[in-house]
Structure 1
Amino acid sequence: MNQEIPGDGTFLVGREVRPGTYRGAGPAEGGSPCYWARLKGATGTDGGTVTNGAGKGQTTVTALDTDKAFQTTGCQTWKRLG
């Protein structure tokens, strides 16, 4: 499993990325806010968002083992802490 999460995509927690705390440096080049979401499901039809956010600065998010997926758009690479 990856210790990093690329800036764009939806990734299965526990399969493609490890549960844990990740830090992103902010938006990718272009200036749009970095968007992230912890998801209850990965199909778009099974429960939706646990929590989400967007910003233009450094962000820290914890993906829990109870999350099904982590979604990120317009962000730099997220790096797992610890």
Structure 2
Amino acid sequence: MNDQEKSALKRTLIGKVVSDKMDKTASVLVERRMKHPIYGKVVRRTKKYLVHDANNQARIGDTVEIQEGRPISKNKSWVLTKVIQVAQII
């Protein structure tokens, strides 16, 4: 396989940055909606991912796109690809 086919197989997710206090790392909250298997109600499931942010460009509240990558540390296997929406500063 060439490089384009390999990169196409990586998962991408969209989430919100909840912490940027670490150096070159951001914590991103990804929310998904699913139907409860018994009751049928739509419920929200959330998960936090530690994301490698090489340029420290993500800020709290930003909506970002992350992509699966190689393991960088024990808990960090995702890479920040782009900032979709910058958070509003009040």
Structure-2-length-normalised TM-score = 0.27
TM-score for both structures, normalised by structure 1 = 0.29
Report 1 or 2 for greater relative contact order, CA contacts < 8 Å, sequence distance ≥ 6: 1
Higher helix share: 2
State which structure, 1 or 2, has the greater radius of gyration over its C-alpha atoms.
Answer: 2
